[in-house]
Amino acid sequence: MFYYYGRKKQIAKYYPLPNFDTIIEPFAGSASYSLYKNNWQKQVILIEKDDKVAAIWTWLLEQATPQQIESLPLVKVGEKSSEFLHIIHAVTKMAFHFKTIKVTPILERNWEISKRYMAENLYKIKHWRIICGNYTESPNLEATWFIDPPYKHTPGLGYRHSSKHLDYRLLASWVKMRQGEVICCEGEFGDYLPFRPLVESKGVAGKISREMLYYSSEYKPLDLFPDTV
């Protein structure tokens, strides 16, 4: 819904479409998977540990109108802003460490685009729910689980609650206990589940990263990797 470090908007098309009426995102971020195509029409439950990110979702879901979003002021290169919603649009690993940020051309452009996108797509999310809490506080429902935690073996940047705060053995056990369908994301060094290569993607700075996937379903397993052994 808004710019967020590590979001899956550009590669959402590579993930399986949901087979259940409910989508649960335990590491919500900007919820790009739930907004992809018609996924938003499902019952969507977001769980977000970062209170500032959760507050953005609460405002969007419970209070904001398209008119209010459209009336939010634009930012100009060279200005300074302490608004958290502005800061995360700078698309930097250090966003969560800044209290004030100087507006760059990237931030100016991203905020203009995002403001328009939020206003135009706000109607899609008004039936969603947000829970501010740890991933373990997710409701135990039969659902499509889109699990996108901070990647293992990455620096402790990019998020306020980063990889250094996660016990991946506990996460793996928790993932395997989910009911319904599980889509779990990781980087190339994730080793706590039997991940398989999904796609190579290009980051903001042009760096190529390999996206990995763990998929499990109560249905007949999906053949997501027909060309691999």
Domains along the chain?
9-70+124-217 (3.40.50.150)
Q: CA-CA distance, 60 to 191, in Å (whole number)?
A: 36
61: which 2 tokens?
A: 């879901």
100: which 2 tokens?
A: 């004030």
* pLDDT of res. 101: 87
* pLDDT of res. 228: 42
φ, ψ for residue 83 (rounded to 5)?
Answer: -75, 125
Q: CA-CA distance, 183 to 20, in Å (whole number)?
A: 12
* pLDDT of res. 95: 65
* pLDDT of res. 162: 57
Q: CA-CA distance, 2 to 157, in Å (whole number)?
A: 19
Estimate to the nearest angstrom the gap between the alpha carbon of 52 and the chain centroid: 14
Q: Is 8 exposed, middle or buried (0-12, 13-18, 19+ CB in 10 A)?
A: buried
Positive or negative CA dihedral for 101, 7, 126, 216?
negative
* pLDDT of res. 163: 59
pTM assigned to the model: 0.87
23: which 2 tokens?
A: 């989508």
Q: CA-CA distance, 88 to 101, in Å (whole number)?
A: 10
Per-residue pLDDT of the chain (229 residues; tens, 9 = 90+): 887 776 788 899 999 999 999 999 999 999 999 999 999 999 999 999 999 999 999 999 999 999 999 999 999 999 999 898 888 887 766 666 778 889 999 899 999 999 999 999 999 999 999 999 999 999 999 999 999 998 887 655 555 555 577 899 999 999 999 999 999 999 888 999 999 999 987 765 567 789 999 999 976 555 555 444 3
13: which 2 tokens?
A: 């098309």
Q: CA-CA distance, 16 to 182, in Å (whole number)?
A: 10
Q: CA-CA distance, 122 to 126, in Å (whole number)?
A: 7
* pLDDT of res. 229: 34
Estimate to the nearest angstrom the gap between the alpha carbon of 210 and the chain centroid: 17
- Are the C-beta atoms of residues 223 and 195 closer than 8 Å to each other? no
